[in-house]
Amino acid sequence: MTGKVFFSVTMSLDGFMAPEAVPAEDAFSPEKQDDPGVRRWNAKWSELQAWAFPLRWFRENLKLGEGGEEGIDNDTARATYERTGASVMGKRMFDLGEKSWPEDAPFHTPVFVVTHEKRDPWERPGGTTFHFVNDGIESALLQAREAAGDRDVRIAGGAETIQEYLDGGLIDEFSITLAPVLLDTGIRLFDRVEPDRIALGQVRADASSRVTHLTYTAVKR
Amino acid sequence: MTGKVFFSVTMSLDGFMAPEAVPAEDAFSPEKQDDPGVRRWNAKWSELQAWAFPLRWFRENLKLGEGGEEGIDNDTARATYERTGASVMGKRMFDLGEKSWPEDAPFHTPVFVVTHEKRDPWERPGGTTFHFVNDGIESALLQAREAAGDRDVRIAGGAETIQEYLDGGLIDEFSITLAPVLLDTGIRLFDRVEPDRIALGQVRADASSRVTHLTYTAVKR
């Protein structure tokens, strides 16, 4: 038995999964936090992700302490985490995360980073090991499937990486947490996807007081 | 007591409420139906609106005959229609509709068309009367409010007209029927909206097997 390949992201109502890019080395650099571009990025990112911060699971997974909210949002976030046996991510997401994740990165599974950078596996406390894959998205997915066993493979991001997998017909299903936020500019989730190649199917929608969790299947036409 | 001002549209998952524009005189012209642009427009429009065609209410309102599906989609479409005491629309939507609505246009209320064209009111059988407003969106809204009494005013479209009302802080709430469709190009629902001026609030989400009906409040910041 082999798991599914999925992605799960937060999207603004106008279709963005992140504010416009700032250089990865600036986004979390203490001395750059007063830069107007960095401030805007932080404000917009926080607005988009605001639903997640109060959750019990979020606090637990990032070791921020006890407590936090339970309910639909928490159950959805935890279920996404628990189904994931391995993740795949692009280089930019890794570069950003490397500067912002705590010492034990919050995956606790193997993570395959699609990059041109040659680098030995990077093992973190808590079970996250980053593997650097230099021969493309299909190879990264094969390795992630192998590592995940019968659990699912999550294409973690960023947008470009998700688009490549979606456009390649390699995604089985996906979840969008739709936030009641307008960003106006930024990185679109569905840029570059060729709609004549992918048909979507409606699976379910669960709304909390903050966001709506949408699930779809994706099928190559 | 005065009603609310709302809009209600179908949006693709990638944020479009219509395919890219074709000239209004071509879209429904019998001799232009083989034009590749018109064919594409029709195919994409049909894909986006596919959830509505089988509905009992849709068939009833357009006098297409008895029968049709009931359920969440039908209830939502009917409720949107029933709450509406008057509509406002832009000139392009009117121009398209004038060529495609049946003899008794499917509004059955006063409709205020924001346009530079000076024209006498146009009364259709079945209770729809088009009034042509030449002095801007606020005047059209005032007239629509007056005509609607204690029912609600619907900003019917198109996208540009909705954006002007939203950006002006004139919308109380809105509904989006989110279709599991990617259009990739077309007319975006939320282009030109200045997000620092409008805060959205999550109200509810109801999913059918075909689409998700989302409702939000809009508040001027």
Distance CA B34, CA B6 (A): 36
pLDDT of residue B21 exceeding 90, the answer is no
pLDDT at B29: 78
The answer to whether A53 touches A117, Cβ cutoff 8 Å, is no
Q: pTM (2 decimals)?
A: 0.94
Q: What is the pLDDT of residues B84-142, one digit of tens each?
A: 999 999 999 999 888 888 888 889 999 999 999 999 999 999 999 999 999 999 999 99
Question: Side chain identity at A74, as an amino acid letter?
Answer: N
| Cβ atoms of B205 and B178 closer than 8 Å | no
Q: For A135-149, what is each residue's pLDDT tens digit?
A: 999 999 999 999 999
Nearest Cα residue in chain A from B199: A181
- With beta carbons under 8 A apart, name residues in chain A contacting B183: 195
Do A190 and B182 count as a contact with CB atoms less than 8 A apart? yes
> Which residues in chain B are closer than 8 Å to A14, comparing Cβ atoms?
15, 188-190, 193, 195
Q: Do B184 and A202 touch (CB under 8 A)?
A: no
Specify the 3-state DSSP secondary structure of B105: coil
> A198 contacts in B (CB within 8 Å)?
182
What is the number of alpha carbons within 13 Å of residue A44 lying toward its C-beta?
24
Question: What tokens appear for A19 in the block?
Answer: 């504010």
Between the CA of residue B36 and those of B95, B184, B200, what are the distances in Å?
Answer: 21, 17, 39
Mutate to test the interface with B, among A73, A182, A187 (most CBs of B within 10 A): A182
CA-to-CA separations, B82 to A53, A104, B100, B145, B148, in angstroms, rounded: 40, 55, 22, 15, 12
| Binary contact (A204, B207; C-beta < 8 A) | yes
- B220 CB neighbour count, 10 Å cutoff: 11
pLDDT value of position B33: 84
Tell me the pLDDT band of B6, cut-offs 50, 70 and 90. Answer: very high
Of B193, B202, B212, the CB nearest to A205: B212
With an 8 Å Cβ cutoff, are A13 and B190 in contact? Answer: yes
Closest-CA residue of chain A to B205 = A207
**B202 to A200: CB separation less than 8 angstroms, yes or no:** no
